Structure 1
Amino acid sequence: MNRSDHERLTDELIGEATLSLLKDNGPISMKLLLERLQQMLSIERDGQRRNVLSQIILEISNDGKGGARRNTKSEQQEWDTDGRHSSSNVYPLFGNSPQANRNKH
């Protein structure tokens, strides 16, 4: 699975978990999202989806505990290399590739 396929699957799985929380008409929080992802992992049979779910859970868990984060200093510097984002404090949550620049000028 290449990087873009991995990113798409990551987005899809996070979306599925978020939508299921919304359908329950309950609150949305990182804790509840993490719990839903863990529930999804416990019943998932597809190996590729299980691997990505495990990675998402690890990243979310570590993010809240000051552990390893996907947006390390070097990734933020890479994000800033095109010069258009260097004045912004907004960085992608998952992945390190900047999305297409959408100027608001």
Structure 2
Amino acid sequence: MYRSEDERLTDIVMGDAVLQLLKQAGPVTATALLDKLHTLAGQETDPARQRAFQRAIEEVTNSKKAPAGEAVALKDTHNVTHIFRNRENPGKKTRH
């Protein structure tokens, strides 16, 4: 399903970080996710998982750099495109 084992492991470590944020009942924001990924990466001893944490950190950092209102399109393993918009700008309202 995944293009590589590295991608699978990156998704796993990112998912673990999100789950920990959810268990803490705190905000799940890009900043909180980056903090959690950095914390977990610092505790990791396995080199493959350390690389996965670095890839996950890069993905989240790149998504934060997208200007407000700009979208990032990612294709999954089934060639389905998912569009993520940067909505951290509280001044803009989104209609659904």
Distance between the aligned counterparts of 1:48 and 1:3, measured in 2? 16
Distance between the aligned counterparts of 1:8 and 1:31, measured in 2? 23
What's 2:17 paired with?
17
Deviation of 1:63 after TM superposition, in Å, equals 2.3
1:48 partner letter: A
What's 1:38 paired with?
38
- 1:71-90 correspondence runs (5 A): 71=73, 79=79, 90=81
Structure 2 length-normalised TM: 0.64
What's 2:55 paired with?
55
Deviation of 1:3 after TM superposition, in Å, equals 3.5
1:9 partner letter: L
Deviation of 1:22 after TM superposition, in Å, equals 0.9
Task: Compare relative contact order (CA 8 Å, sep 6+) and give the higher one, 1 or 2.
Answer: 2
Structure 1 length-normalised TM: 0.59
After the TM superposition, which segments of 4 or more aligned residues of structure 1 sit over 3 Å from their partners? none
Distance between the aligned counterparts of 2:24 and 2:39, measured in 1? 14
Q: Would the aligned equivalents of 2:11 and 2:56 in 1 still touch at CA under 8 Å?
A: no
Distance between the aligned counterparts of 2:19 and 2:41, measured in 1? 16
2:42 partner letter: S
What's 2:26 paired with?
26
Distance between the aligned counterparts of 1:41 and 1:19, measured in 2? 15
Deviation of 1:71 after TM superposition, in Å, equals 4.8
Higher Cα Rg: structure 1 or 2? 1
